[in-house]
Amino acid sequence: MCQIFAGQDPARYDSDTRSLRLNGQSTSIRLERAFWAILDDIAAAEGLSTPSFISRLHAEVLELRGEPGNFTSLLRCTCLVHLERTAGRPDPAADPDLAPGRHAA
């Protein structure tokens, strides 16, 4: 089983740093290339550039919850939510029976 995971191309998990503006401030974000590819796909589906999508996401998070403690983690989880939705999986946050450590009956 681990051959599937261990045998993946190392380029997928190499880090890539991109510079962009969040709320008018220049910043750099470092993510694995696999996550950048997913973010690029999400942005394209929204009709936005990747920096525009990330900036919009950041602004919406600020409005809803305030400054995120770890924005790169939020971006990784955004990718997971996207993959779960495109795979037709239920959202574990919306169903307490699917929360981590719990299994659907």
Domains of the chain by residue range = 38-88
pLDDT computed for residue 105 by the predictor: 43
> Does the pLDDT value for residue 35 go beyond 50?
yes
Close Cβ partners of 54 (under 8 Å, ≥ 6 residues apart) = 20, 22, 29, 39, 43, 75
Give the whole-angstrom CA distance, residue 21 versus residue 55: 7
**Of 5 and 44, more confident:** 44
Tell me the average pLDDT across 79-83: 96
Give the whole-angstrom CA distance, residue 68 versus residue 54: 13
19 falls in which pLDDT band (50, 70, 90)?
A: very high
> Does the pLDDT value for residue 97 go beyond 70?
no
Tell me the average pLDDT across 68-78: 96
Cβ density class 18-37: b for 16+ within 10 Å, e for less: eebebeeeeeebebbebbbe
> Does the pLDDT value for residue 62 go beyond 90?
yes
Which residue do the tokens 């990784």 mark? Answer: 76
Tell me the average pLDDT across 60-73: 94
pLDDT computed for residue 93 by the predictor: 66
- Name the pTM for this structure: 0.81
